[in-house]
Amino acid sequence: MAKKRGISFSGIYLTLILIIMYVPIVLVVIFSFNESKISSLWGGFSLNWYGELFRDRSMFEALRNSVVLGLLSSFSAAVIGTLAATGLTRYKLKSGKVMEYFATLPIMIPEIIMGMVFLTFFSLLGLPFGMVTLVIAHTSFCIPYVFLMVKARLAGLDKSYVEAARDLGASELRAFYDITMPLAMPAIVSGMLLSFAMSFDDVIISVFVTGVNTNTLPMKIYSQIKTGVTPKTNALCALIFVVTIFLCALSMRISKKK
């Protein structure tokens, strides 16, 4: 193809979209190195806010809670979602369509309703609010992401692979372990990463089901809005941003390897 010189419409369009999407992120990263206390004014380069961030125990506590919560709920969702997808693909149940609908329902229901529902349910059960209730709630809204991804992957998978394994002497469980799981692994991993991201930034449901002493990072940041966002938050966002980029690159590498 001949290379066209000069400015083209598609070039302008692309630049504009990229600016709208990424300039705010770049600004947050830049302002995390801001000397000034006011976020929107540049007062010279400094690493002060990072220092402050690392000294802030409560911020660290919240980050730790969020990571633990994300890992536990995305892992539980991966197990339950994968089993559900495998079962619904493997057995042609009459209730299959209904089950599929129920499995994906949590993404359709508004979060505020889900939060209310969990609050009522957990108080009814008398569960102490805290990490346990958070994990249960997050797992339940993460399941659809894993379920949908694994289901799509399995639907596209020739069922003769599993049949061949059974024919060659593998039990049903063994065939799942040797054939279905490795072949569905890219979908399981990307479903898990998506679940982690969803859990990591959830505020609404978490507010309803958390206890007094369990603060997650998004809840912490959200509550800071009232007292004013300091560049400390910017520093935290910059760090999370770096970790996110790393995780995305990782997941792309994994799904590229068939």
Can you give the binding site for another protein, defined by CB under 8 A? 158, 160-161, 163-172, 174, 178-179, 182-183, 258
Least Å from the CB of residue 256 to another protein: 14
Q: Of 230 and 255, which has the nearer Cβ to another protein? A: 255
Q: Which is nearer to another protein, 177 or 246 (CB)?
A: 177
Residue for token pair 């991966």: 78
Question: What is the 3 state secondary structure string of the chain?
Answer: CCCCCCCCHHHHHHHHHHHHHHHHHHHHHHHCCECCCCCCCCCCECCHHHHHHHHCHHHHHHHHHHHHHHHHHHHHHHHHHHHHHHHHHHCCCCCHHHHHHHHHHHHHCCHHHHHHHHHHHHHHHCCCCCHHHHHHHHHHHHHHHHHHHHHHHHHCCCCHHHHHHHHCCCCHHHHHHHHHHHHHHHHHHHHHHHHHHHHHCCCHHHHHHCCCCCCCHHHHHHHHHHHCCCHHHHHHHHHHHHHHHHHHHHHHHHHHCC
Nearest approach, Cβ of residue 94 and another protein (Å)? 12
At closest approach, how far in Å is the CB of 182 from another protein?
5
Q: In angstroms, give the least distance from the CB of 130 to another protein.
A: 41
Q: Give ∠ CA 176-181-182 in degrees, rounded to 5.
A: 125
Nearer to another protein, 126 or 156 (CB): 156
Residue 171 CB neighbour total at 10 angstroms: 10
Q: How far is the CB of 192 from another protein (least distance, A)?
A: 19
Q: How far is the CB of 80 from another protein (least distance, A)?
A: 24
Place of tokens 């049949």: 163
Name the nearest CA neighbour of 73 among 118, 125, 126, 123.
118
**CB closer to another protein, 67 vs 185:** 185
**Residue among 20 and 173 whose Cβ is closer to another protein:** 173
First-to-last alpha carbon distance for the chain, in angstroms, is 31
**Least distance from C-beta 156 to another protein, angstroms?**
12
Closest CB to another protein among residues 24, 96: 96
Closest to another protein by CB, 183 or 239: 183
